Chain A
Amino acid sequence: MKPQSMGQAVLIGLALIYLASLYFMSSPVWMGFTINALIVAVVALAWNITGGFGGMASFGHAAMYGTGAYASAILQVQYGINPWIAFGAGIVAGAAMGAFIGALAFRYGLKGSYFALVTLAFAEVLRICASSFAITGGGSGLQLRLEPGLSTLQFNDRSVVYTILLVIVALVMALTAWLKYSRFGAYLIAVRENEDAARALGIDTYRIKVKAMAISGAFAGLAGVLYLQVWLFIDSAVVYGSAISIEALIGPIIGGAGTVWGPLIGTLGLHLLGEGAKHLLHNAPGLNFVLYAVVLICALRFLPQGLMGLAARIGTFRKKEDDNA
C-alpha cells in the first residue's frame, strides 16, 4: 500500500487532501457528489480483484452490485428483516452471484471478450428480471422506509455517511493490499500472467478464479448495499444498468489496474472530470460518458498501467536491499 515513488506519493497525497478537504468545505453538493464517487470506488475496487489482479475483465459487475442491493432491499422491505442482517446478506448474495457467474464461465473456459460478454449478459438478464417481478418491486423499484438511526443503518448527517464510507473504502483497500501480498494474490497474478505455467506449478486455476469472483462479488455487493442505505431507493436501471459496470472498469484502468490505490484515484479523478465538464458545458446529458470514453481510449493508448503506473516512474524511491515491495 505504500507509495513506491515520489510521483505516487504526490498522487495519493492529492487524493487524501481532496477527501479531507470536504470536512472543511461544508458544501452539501460536493459531499453528495463525493459520497457517490466513494460508492463507485468500492465497485471499482471489486472489479480490480478480478480484472486487475486476475486479468479477467468483467463488463457486468452490475450483476453483483445489483444483487447485493436487491438482496438487502428485499429482505428489509418485503420481509422486515433487521437492516444489519440484510446488510450482511447483501454482501453474501453479491459473493454468491460472483461465484456462480465465475463457476459457469470458467467451467467452459471462457476468457477475454467472451468472459466480458457473459458477465454483461448476466447483468442484463438480471436487470430485466428485476424490472418484471413483484418481489423486486417491478418497474417502480424498492424504497426503504425513512427511519434514521444506528439500528436501521440510515444517517441524516451527510458527514457521518461520508465518514462511514471513507472507513469502508479504507478497509476494502486494506483487504486488497493484504490479498495482493498473500498466497492467493500471488496465485491470481500468476493466473493472469500465464495460466499454463500456473497450472504446472500446482495451482488449481479454476478454483482461484472462482474464488476471485466470489471476493469481487462480495465487494460489489457491499457497494450495492451502501448505495441502498445512502439513497434508500433502488430500481433495476440504477443498480443493474450497464452504467455501473462501465464505471467499475474505467476507474481501475485509468487509476492503475492491479494496484491498491488505482481504483480510488481513477474513480475520483474521473468523477471530478465528469462533474467539471458538466458545469462547463451546461449539463448536456450523457456527456460524462462521452468524456469517459475519450479518457479511457487515451489511457489505454498512453497509460498502460494507469496513473499509478505513470506516477511510479516519477522519482522512484531507491529500493531496500531486502525484499518486501
Chain B
Amino acid sequence: MLEVRNLSKSFGGLKAVSDASLDVPEGGIVGLLGPNGAGKTTCFTMIAGFTRPNEGTVRFMGQDVTGLPPHRICALGMIRTFQIVQPFAGLTVQENIAVGAYLHHHDRTEAMAVARQVGKRLGMGAMLDRPASSLTIAGRKRLELARALATGAKLLLLDEVMAGLIPSEVSEIVGIIRQIRDEGHTFLMIEHVMQAVMSLAETAYVLNHGKMIAHGTPKELVQDPAVVEAYLGHGAAARLQEGHHA
C-alpha cells in the first residue's frame, strides 16, 4: 500500500534521514521505532507531504506522491497525526472531528453526524460538546486519531499516540487501533511504548541516526544486537549476552 524508497533529508549539515526505505502492506500495522532524534518524525513529514525529501520516492496505492502537498495526499487517503497534539482549541470536540469529516462530506449536518459517530466509536461520546482545550492529554491523543479517521483515510501514520499515557489508557488505545484495523484501515506507527508495539505491530522498522538499521517482527528486533545497541549504547548487546549466560 505504501512504498517508501531511499528517502533522504538533511537540515543544513545534519542528515536527519538518509536512504530510508520501508513498506506497509494493506491491512497491516507496521511500527517505526528508534531512539530520540533518530529521524522518525522527519520520515512522516516527508511521507505526508509536509517537507520535500532531498532524495527518494514515496508511492501510495501505486501512485507516486513524492512532493505532493499534504491536502492532496490526504484526499488520496493517507493522513498523519502529530507527536505534539494539535487540537483546534476554539472548537468543541465534535467540531474538531467534523473538520476531518468535511473532507468528503460537504454538508454540515452530515459532517457533524459522521463526527459524532467517529467520536462515539473512539469512546469520546461524553466529551463531544466539550471544548477541545479542556481535554486531558489522553483525550487529545484520541481526538488526534478521531479527526484523522473522520477524513476517511485508509492509511494512518500515527506519531506516538501513546506517549504520555498511563498503562490503562495505553491498553484502551491498543484495543481501539486493533478494532479500527479490523474495519479495514492500515497503520504505520511511531511508538516508544514497547508494550504497544509488541502487541500491535506485525512488523517494525528501526531507525537510528537517520538510517534503517533493522526490519523484522518485534520479537526478532528485541533480540537484534544492532537494535539493542541503538537504544542502550555501544557494547550493550554484548554485555546483555554475557549477563544472560552468567
B positions within 8 Å CB-CB of A: 48, 50, 69-71, 74-75, 79-82, 86-92, 94-95, 98-100, 102-103, 106-108, 111-112, 116, 128-129, 147-148, 151
What distance in Å separates the Cβ of A49 from its nearest Cβ neighbour in chain B? 16
Residues of B within 8 A of A258 (CB): 90
The interface stretch among A4-12, A192-200, A230-238 is: A192-200
Residues of B within 8 A of A181 (CB): 108
Determine if B108 and A319 form an interchain contact, defined as CB atoms under 8 angstroms apart: no
The total of interchain contacts (Cβ-Cβ below 8 angstroms) comes to 83
Residues of A within 8 A of B90 (CB): 189, 192-193, 258
Is residue A157 contacting chain B, with contact meaning CB distance below 8 A?
no
Given contacts A189-B88, A194-B88, contact A199 B94 (CB under 8 A): no
List residues 275-313 of chain A with CB under 8 A from any CB of chain B. Answer: none
Bound complex: CA of A180 vs CA of B79, how far in Å?
A: 26
A positions within 8 Å CB-CB of B: 181-183, 186-187, 189-190, 192-194, 196-205, 258, 319, 323, 325
Bound complex: CA of A200 vs CA of B103, how far in Å?
A: 11
What distance in Å separates the Cβ of A194 from its nearest Cβ neighbour in chain B? 5
Across the two chains, which residue of chain A brings its CB closest to B79?
Answer: A200
Determine if B82 and A197 form an interchain contact, defined as CB atoms under 8 angstroms apart: yes
Determine if A196 and B86 form an interchain contact, defined as CB atoms under 8 angstroms apart: yes
Residues of A within 8 A of B82 (CB): 196-197, 200
What distance in Å separates the Cβ of B11 from its nearest Cβ neighbour in chain A? 17
Residues of A within 8 A of B103 (CB): 201-202
What distance in Å separates the Cβ of A207 from its nearest Cβ neighbour in chain B? 9
Residues of B within 8 A of A203 (CB): 71, 99
Residues of A within 8 A of B94 (CB): 323
Residues of A within 8 A of B100 (CB): 201-202
What distance in Å separates the Cβ of A258 from its nearest Cβ neighbour in chain B? 8
Residues of A within 8 A of B81 (CB): 200
Determine if A323 and B116 form an interchain contact, defined as CB atoms under 8 angstroms apart: yes
* 16 A-B residue pairs with CB within 8 Å: A183-B106, A183-B107, A186-B91, A186-B99, A186-B102, A197-B88, A199-B71, A200-B70, A200-B80, A200-B81, A201-B79, A201-B103, A202-B74, A202-B103, A204-B69, A323-B94
